[in-house]
Amino acid sequence: MAVAGVHVRTNINVVARANVYSANEIVRIFYEVVSDVGLNVTDLAETQPVIEKGLRAWLAMRKLEAAYLEVFDPATNVVRCRTDLNIVYTSDTNERHRTDIDRVKTATGALGRYPGCKYRVVVSLADGAPDVGGWDTTTLGSVDHLTKRDVGDVIDTAAVRSRMFTWS
């Protein structure tokens, strides 16, 4: 019984670290996007605690389906570019924490520059996801006029993987 207990504890510690790492890396990637499209990261920095709180809670409960960084023209609300991080939950005892930041930088560097635009973080959640303080219900802007690109897997852990797509 003691061995079984240790096994369970070890696995759940691995899962917890994977979730914390993944939440941090999603935010890190969004910082790359904001910076590379020529916008000020101040707004992201100011809302980072709320964003992290939501990502951590929804990842832990396996309710986060995707996180989006949407850049839009504030005069028209037209989306100028978007970065999607789609989430896949895995179950693996091989603990690892990897982010393909070179792949991310190559993709974000190709998004273009959008001076004067604003941005926001949006998430897609599975049914039953709890409310998190500071987050409101919204709808993503249309990206029908943009071109989608598959960047590939960018976050890899024992419990969470993320594949990145860009629209520009």
Partner 1 sequence: MRVNYLLDGERHELSVEETDDLAELCRLVEKGLRAAHTELAGAPHLAEKVADGLLNSLSTDADEADLGELA
Question: Applying CB under 8 A, which residues contact partner 1?
Answer: 5, 7-9, 11-13, 15-17, 19-20, 53-54, 56-57, 60-62, 130-133, 159
By the 8 A CB rule, do 96 and 158 touch?
A: yes
Give the three-state DSSP class for 52. Answer: helix
CA separation, residue 143 to residues 8, 65, 117, 129, 166 (Å) = 44, 18, 16, 25, 10
User: Residue 14 Cβ, how far from partner 1 at the closest point, in Å?
Assistant: 9
CA separation, residue 12 to residues 4, 5, 8 (Å) = 12, 11, 6
User: Residue 51 Cβ, how far from partner 1 at the closest point, in Å?
Assistant: 13
User: Residue 38 Cβ, how far from partner 1 at the closest point, in Å?
Assistant: 33
Helix (H) or strand (E) holding 161: strand 160-167
User: Residue 30 Cβ, how far from partner 1 at the closest point, in Å?
Assistant: 20
Tokens of 112: 């273009």
Strand partners, 28: none
Nearer to partner 1, 41 or 132 (CB): 132
Nearer to partner 1, 136 or 144 (CB): 136
User: Residue 31 Cβ, how far from partner 1 at the closest point, in Å?
Assistant: 21
Nearer to partner 1, 102 or 136 (CB): 136
| Cα–Cα distance, 1 to 9 (Å, whole number) | 12
Nearer to partner 1, 8 or 45 (CB): 8
Nearer to partner 1, 93 or 106 (CB): 93
Half-sphere exposure of 49 (CA within 13 A, CB side): 3
